[in-house]
Chains A and B, each alone.
Chain A
C-alpha cells in the first residue's frame, strides 16, 4: 500500500516536473534570457581582463536597471491595448531629473523633498497625458508625443542647458552597491516585484489585462475602464520621473537629452521580453532579460572595437532577428 502510494507520488511529481518544464519552455520571456546569456558569454570571449566576468555583470545590472524601471511602466501602458504607447517617457525623465536636482541644489538635507518633487513631476505629467487622451480624445501616441514637446520645453526653460550636480549622498548611493549588487539594481528589482504583483496577483492587473483584451467587454463587465487607464498612465509617468531622478544622480547631473535613448529602450524591452504589443498579455520577468540583453549587445559590439556605424547596424539587425525568432505565428490576435 505504502509502496503504491510512493509510486503514485513519484509519478505525480515526475509529471508535474515535466509539465513545469514544458510550460517553462512555452513562456515567451525565456528567449530574452537565452539571448542575454548567449551575448554575455560571447562578450566574455573577447574581454581580455581576468576580472571581466564580474565587472561586466555588474555594469549590465546597473544599466539594465534604468531600462527595467521605465520598461515596467511602459509595459503596463502597452498592456492597455493597440495604440497605447507612452512616447513622453524621455521628456518626463528629463523634466523630473532637472527640476528635482535644481531644487536640491547639491544640498544633502533636501534629499527627501527632492525625491517627492521627482515623483510629483511624474504624477503631473501622467495626469496631463491622460487628460489629453480622455478629455480631448487624442490617440495616446499623438497625445504623449505632443505633451513630450511641452515637457521638453519646460525642462529647457528651467535649467537653460546647465548641468546641476546631485547632492553628495545621492551621487554616492546611485553609483554604489550593497553586497556586490548595484543599489540601482536593488531598486529595479523592488519595482519589478511590485509590478509583477500588481499585474499577476492584484485585481488591478486583471482589470488592465481585461481592458487590453477587449475594452468594450471590460466596460460591460463592470471594470472601471477610465480609472484603470488613468492609473496606468500616471504610474508609467511616475516611474519615468523616478528613473530620471536616479539617472541624473548616477550620471553626475541632469542634462537635456539624458532620456533620449529610453524612448526606444522602453518599448524594445517590453516587446523583446515577450509581452504582446497588441496588449492584454504581458509579463514582468522578460523585461529583465531583455534589458540585460540590450545592454550586453552594445557592450559586446563595443568590445569588438567596431565603429559607431557598424555597431548601430548590427544592433538593429540583432534586435530584428531576435524578435523574428522569438515570435510565434498566431501570437497576434
Chain B
C-alpha cells in the first residue's frame, strides 16, 4: 500500500474505531434504530461539508456556510411550507447570489475569506427578517422523506452513501469536475487552454449554494422547525470535515467520499461523548481533542510511509 492508499483509508479507519467504541459502550446502538439515531443529524452536516469542499477545491474558503444553511432552513420552514412557489424562488435566487459571489471574487480578485465573512452577516440578517423567533414547520413531504422507514438500512446511512457516491462521480469522473479541480491546481493552465475560469468559479459556488440549500432543507425535515441560528456550527464543522476526510486547503486535492466520512465522524464524535456521560463542560473540548487526535494519526501514517 502506498501513501495515497493510506491517506484515503484513514478517514474510514477513524470512523470505524469511533463506531466500535460506541458499540462497545452501548451495544443497543448496533441496530436499525440505533444507527438512525446516531447518524440522523449527519445528513445536513454531510451536505454542508461537500458544499465547503466545492469551495476549497478551487482554493477558496467559505465562512458563510453556517449562516447560509440557517437562512435556507428558515426559508424552508416558512415560505416553502406555506407558499411553495415563492419559497423555491427565494432559494433559487439565493443560489444565484452564491454563483454571483464566486464571479465577483474572481473578477475583482477579492479574498474569499473576507467576502464570505461579510456575506455571513447578510444571510444572518435575512434569516432574522424571515424568522424573527424560532418556529415555522417542515413541509409534510420533507418530513416524510427524512423519517422514512427504508428496508435494511436506515435513511441516515443510505443518504450519506448516495451523497458521497454522486459527489465522487461528479468531482472525480465528470469533465466538469476535472476542470474544477484543475482551477484549484493551476488556474492559469485552465485559462490558457481556453476555458473561462470566471464561469467555472461561478459554477463551483453555484453548486456549493445548491448543496447548502439541500442541507438546510434536510435539517428542517429532521428538526421540524427552524431558527436563525440553527446551523451556525456548520461553518467550522464543514471545514473540519473536509480536512478530516483527507482534503487539502490548496491545489484542488479533495476527496468527496472522505469528506462525507469526515462529516459522519464529527457527528458520531458528539454522540460518543454523550454516551461517555462526560460533564457538559467538556463536551466541546473533547470534540476538539478528537479532531486533534485524528489529524495526529494522519501524520503518523504519512511519516511511517515516508521512512519505509
Residues of A in contact with B (beta carbons under 8 Å apart): 82-83, 85, 87, 132, 136-139, 141-143, 145-150, 152-154, 156-157, 160, 264, 267-268, 271-272, 277-278, 307-317, 319-320, 323-324, 327, 329-332
CB atoms of B121 and A319 under 8 A apart = yes
Binary interface encoding of chain B residues 122-137 relative to chain A, with 1 for a CB under 8 A from any of its CBs, else 0: 1111111100100000
A309 interface neighbour in B115, B129, B285, Cβ under 8 Å: B129
Whether a CB of chain A sits under 8 angstroms from the CB of B287 is: yes
Expressed in whole angstroms, the Cα–Cα distance for A311 and B119 within the complex equals 13
Total contacts A-B at CB 8 Å: 143
Name the CB-closest residue of A to B303.
A137
Contact assessment for A264 and B117 in the assembled complex, using a CB-CB cutoff below 8 Å: yes
- Cβ B114 vs Cβ A138 within 8 A: no
Across the interface, do A331 and B109 meet the contact criterion of CB distance under 8 Å?
A: yes
The verdict on A312 contacting B124 (CB below 8 Å), with A149-B284, A154-B285 known, is yes
Question: Are A152 and B285 closer than 8 Å at their CB atoms?
Answer: yes
> Which 7 residue pairs spanning A and B have beta carbons closest together?
A153-B285, A149-B288, A312-B125, A316-B121, A313-B125, A316-B122, A319-B118
Minimum CB–CB distance for A74 against chain B, Å: 12
Interface string of B292-308 (1 = CB under 8 A from A): 10011001000000000
Segment from B86-94, B155-163, B236-244 that makes contact with A: B236-244
CB distance from B117 to the nearest CB of A (A): 6
Using CB atoms, name the residue of chain B closest to A324. B108
CB distance from B186 to the nearest CB of A (A): 15
The reply to whether A320 and B118 contact each other, CB–CB distance below 8 Å, is: yes
Given A142-B239, A157-B282, A310-B129 in contact, is the A323-B110 Cβ separation under 8 Å? Answer: yes
Q: A83-B250, A146-B295, A153-B281 are in contact. List 12 more A-B contacts (CB 8 A).
A: A132-B292, A141-B61, A148-B288, A268-B118, A308-B128, A309-B125, A316-B120, A319-B118, A319-B121, A320-B118, A324-B104, A324-B108
Report how far A139 CA is from B56 CA in the complex, Å: 13
Q: Are the C-beta atoms of A145 and B240 separated by less than 8 Å?
A: yes
Task: Check B81 for interface membership: any CB of A closer than 8 A.
Answer: no
CA A83 – CA B122 in complex, angstroms?
24
Query: Across the interface, which residues of B come within 8 angstroms of A330, CB to CB?
Result: 109
User: A264 — which chain B residues lie within 8 A by C-beta?
Assistant: 117, 120
B129 touches A146 (CB 8 A): no
| Minimal beta-carbon separation of B147 from chain A (angstroms) | 31
Indicate whether B249 reaches chain A with its CB closer than 8 angstroms: yes
Known: A83-B250, A152-B285, A154-B285. A310 touches B125 (CB 8 A): yes
Evaluate contact between B110 and A324: CB separation under 8 angstroms. yes
Q: In the bound complex, how far is the Cα of B113 from the Cα of A87, in angstroms?
A: 12
Q: Are A314 and B288 in contact (CB-based, < 8 A)?
A: no
B122 contacts A313, CB within 8 Å? Answer: yes
| B286 interface contact, C-beta 8 A | yes
Q: Considering the chains assembled together, what is the distance between the CA atoms of A141 and B250 in angstroms? A: 13
CB within 8 Å for A311 and B125 given contacts A147-B288, A153-B282: yes
- Report the bound CA distance from A82 to B61 in whole Å: 11
- B281 A316 Cβ-Cβ under 8 A: no
The residue on B at minimum CB distance from A331 is: B109
From A146, A315, A324, name the one whose CB has the most chain B CB atoms within 10 angstroms. Answer: A146
Are B243 and A153 interface neighbours, CB within 8 A? no
Q: Please list 8 pairs of residues, one from A and one from B, whose beta carbons are closer than 8 Å in the complex, sorted by A's number.
A: A143-B292, A147-B292, A264-B117, A307-B128, A309-B126, A313-B121, A316-B121, A316-B123
Contact residues, B144-202 vs A (CB, 8 A): none
Complex CA distance for A317 and B243, rounded to whole angstroms: 30
Identify which of B114, B123, B249 contacts A277 (C-beta below 8 A).
B114
Chain B, Cβ-Cβ closest to A152? B284
For residue A313, which residues in chain B have a CB less than 8 angstroms away from its CB? 121-122, 125-126, 129
Q: Are B288's CB and A146's CB within 8 A? A: yes
What is the distance, in angstroms, from B142's C-beta to the closest C-beta of chain A? 25
Nearest CB of chain B from residue A152's CB, rounded to whole Å: 5
Chain B nearest CB from A269 CB (Å) reads: 11
Residues of B within 8 A of A143 (CB): 292
Which residues of B from 269 to 294 have beta carbons under 8 Å from A? 279, 281-289, 291-292
Chain A residues, CB < 8 A from B289: 146, 149-150
Kindly list chain A residues whose C-beta atoms are within 8 Å of the C-beta of B287. Answer: 149
B121, B236, B283, B292: the one contacting A138 at CB < 8 Å is: B292
The distance in angstroms between the C-alpha atoms of A148 and B233, with both chains bound, is 13
Residues from chain A with a CB closer than 8 A to the CB of B113 are 85, 267, 271, 277
Q: Which residues of B contact A148 (CB under 8 A)?
A: 288
Given A136-B292, A153-B288, A313-B122, A327 and B110 contact (CB-CB distance below 8 Å): yes
| B27 contacts the other chain (CB 8 A) | no
Q: Is the CB of A309 within 8 A of B128?
A: yes
Q: A316-B122, A330-B109 are in contact. Are A153 and B284 (CB under 8 A)?
A: yes
Partner pick for B119 among A271, A309, A320, CB 8 A cutoff = A320
Task: Find out whether the CB atom of B122 lies under 8 angstroms from the CB atom of A327.
Answer: no
Residues of chain A within 8 A (CB-CB) of B84 are none
Which chain A residue lies CB-closest to B124?
A: A312
A278 to B286, CA, bound (A): 32
Beta-carbon contact of B288 and A267 below 8 Å: no
Contact of B132 with A309 in the complex, beta carbons under 8 Å = yes
Contact B281 A160 (CB under 8 A): yes
